[in-house]
Amino acid sequence: MAKYVYPAIFTPEEKGFSVNFPDLQGCYTCGDDLADAIYMAEDVLAFTLYDYEKNKLPIPAASSTLPLKTDEFMNMILCDTQKYHKRNNAKSVKKTLTIPEWLNESATAADINFSQVLQEALMQKLGIA
């Protein structure tokens, strides 16, 4: 999971904007106004690239320029697939682990939340904030 920047083509519509990412097949969205279109563009970009990562597909290179029609403009869109994953896939997963009995007894007596400690340790080990 990583941060990416891709160019998007914004096309004014009767109400709002349509947004297309030519470098990524099927990656497009729209918004009621420019702010909404940019927000939606970041979301669809993160979703699309997260899907590529999840399915172990090669991530296409981002173009530096794109051909534009008269009423269109290009804007670079930044997304973070790790942030997207955390926001949209927070379902808990049960894990079975083994620790020494004395450690279990000491931690239970100290009222330590095992799940929380494991989450914090994994995030620290993986360098995830």
pTM above 0.75, yes or no: no
Domain with 126, as residue range(s), is: 92-129
Tally the domains of the chain.
Answer: 2
**How confident is the model at residue 10, as a pLDDT?**
98
Q: Are residues 10 and 40 in the same domain?
A: yes
Give how far Cα 113 sits from Cα of 6, 76, 104, 110, 117, Å. Answer: 41, 43, 11, 9, 6
| Three-point CA angle 90, 92, 96, nearest 5° | 145
55/100 same-domain check: no
Residue 7 has pLDDT above 70, yes or no: yes
pLDDT tens, position by position, 31-79: 999 999 999 999 999 999 999 998 999 999 999 989 999 999 999 999 9
Residue 129 is predicted with a pLDDT of 65
Over residues 67-100, the pLDDT tens digits come to: 999 999 999 999 999 888 887 777 778 888 899 9
Residues 42 and 104 placed together within one structural domain of the fold: no
Task: Please tell me whether residues 74 and 102 are part of one structural domain.
Answer: no
Query: Looking at the structure, do residues 129 and 78 belong to the same domain, yes or no?
Result: no
Q: Do residues 9 and 71 both lie within one domain?
A: yes
Whether residue 35 is found in the same domain as residue 79 = yes
Q: Could you tell me which of 51, 87, 126, 112 has the C-alpha nearest to residue 21?
A: 51
pLDDT of residue 5: 97
Query: If you ran DSSP here, which 8-state letter would residue 57 be given?
Result: P
In terms of domains, do 64 and 44 share one? yes
pLDDT at 75: 97
pLDDT computed for residue 1 by the predictor: 63
Task: Note whether 80 and 120 are same-domain residues.
Answer: no
Q: What is the CATH number of the domain that holds 14?
A: 3.30.160.250
pLDDT for residue 128 is more than 80: no
Q: Are residues 29 and 64 both part of a single domain?
A: yes
Angle CA 8–9–12, to nearest 5: 135
- Asked if 68 and 119 sit in the same domain, the reply is no
Decide: 22 and 63 in contact? Cβ < 8 Å. Answer: yes
Q: What is the predicted pLDDT for the residue at 48?
A: 96
